[in-house]
Amino acid sequence: MSNEKKLAGEAAIRFVEDGAIVGVGTGSTVAYFIEALGAVSDRIKGAVSSSEQSTALLKKHGIEVLDLNTTGELTLYVDGADECDPHKRLIKGGGAALTREKIIAEASGKFVCIIDSSKQVDVLGKFPLPIEVIPMARSLVGREIVRRGGHPVWRDGVVTDNGNWVIDVHGWQITDPVALEADLNQIPGIVTVGLFARRGADVVLVGDREI
Ligand code: 5RP
């Protein structure tokens, strides 16, 4: 699978336009993209990063990291995913970077998602759905998830770059991800739901193959 991740990371370079500020996600597949981006760093203006982890990698590869508040809209966002359905709707957040990832995806004209074939599913939900929560709301959110038939598991010990906690929801077959994303977004204390359904990917690369 890591060869497919590498192929996908490298294939995404073809979407990078000269002079661009590139939105960059987080994870092991994105690490290959950052490495490839480093090789063409002289033809981009810089990057907006979705995590402290990616910021460190970008800097290591000589890429300037810019603040989204100063860049305006981005043309391109490249990120991985934990699951991808046939409609390019995603589960993300396995690396706990979902909030900044969702912000950058929303701010970008084109979201290119880079995955290996193990991430392709017919129905989202086998991978536990990550939800970032304000720490004091953990139990409240957990009860709301149970009411909806899910099994919440606190990712104990993990603190996000935003100082929050993550709950992973097991046991959901997510047949209507747009509706579930909207429903969960109403619960006080939820910062971000790791469903990228309302704003899914525009392009998905499985290895170097576009689907
Ligand atoms: C991080 C993410 C990642 O994109 C997702 O976990 C996939 O990671 P990897 O490329 O390492 O398989 O959403 O929050």
Question: Is there a single domain that holds both residue 11 and residue 51?
Answer: yes
Per the structure, the complete domain to which residue 149 belongs is given by 129-194
Nearest residue to 89 (alpha-carbon basis) of 54, 115, 53: 115
Q: Answer yes or no: 144 catalytic.
A: no
Tell me how far the alpha carbon of residue 208 lies from the centroid of ligand 1, in angstroms.
Answer: 17
The CATH number of the domain holding residue 45 is 3.40.50.1360
Q: pLDDT confidence of 2, banded at 50, 70, 90?
A: confident
Question: Is there a single domain that holds both residue 99 and residue 12?
Answer: yes
> Residues 144-192: pLDDT tens digits?
999 999 999 999 999 999 999 999 999 999 999 999 999 999 999 999 9
Question: Is there a single domain that holds both residue 29 and residue 54?
Answer: yes
Question: Is there a single domain that holds both residue 189 and residue 202?
Answer: no
For residue 27, say whether it is annotated as part of any ligand binding site: yes
From the CA of 194, give the closest atom in ligand 1.
Answer: 13
Give the mutation target among 92, 114, 124, 158 for probing the ligand 1 site: most ligand atoms within 8 A of CB: 92
For residue 19, say whether it is annotated as part of any ligand binding site: no
**DSSP secondary structure letter of residue 139:** H
Question: Is there a single domain that holds both residue 63 and residue 133?
Answer: no
Pairing between strand 74-79 and 21-24? parallel
Residues 6 or more apart in contact with residue 16 via CB below 8 angstroms: 22, 37, 40, 43, 44, 76
Nearest residue to 40 (alpha-carbon basis) of 70, 10, 76, 85: 10
Question: Is there a single domain that holds both residue 15 and residue 68?
Answer: yes
Q: Is the full-model pTM beyond 0.85?
A: yes
Closest Cα to atom 4 of ligand 1 = 80
- Alpha carbon distance 206, 204 (integer Å): 6
From the CA of 25, give the closest atom in ligand 1.
Answer: 4
Question: Is there a single domain that holds both residue 44 and residue 115?
Answer: yes
Nearest residue to 123 (alpha-carbon basis) of 86, 171, 167: 86
Question: Is there a single domain that holds both residue 77 and residue 177?
Answer: no
Closest Cα to atom 8 of ligand 1 = 27
Indicate the number of domains in the chain: 2
Question: Is there a single domain that holds both residue 78 and residue 99?
Answer: yes
Q: Note every long-range contact of 176-181, with CB atoms under 8 Å and residues 24 or more positions apart, other chains counting.
A: 177/85, 177/89, 177/124, 178/89
The most distant pair of C-alpha atoms in the chain lies apart, rounded to whole Å, by: 52
State whether residue 130 is helix, strand or coil: strand
> Residues 92-132: pLDDT tens digits?
999 999 999 999 999 999 999 999 999 999 999 999 999 99
Catalytic residue among 101, 132, 144, 181: 101
Question: Is there a single domain that holds both residue 114 and residue 167?
Answer: no
Question: Is there a single domain that holds both residue 41 and residue 74?
Answer: yes
The CATH number of the domain holding residue 165 is 3.30.70.260
Question: Is there a single domain that holds both residue 100 and residue 174?
Answer: no
State whether residue 199 is helix, strand or coil: coil
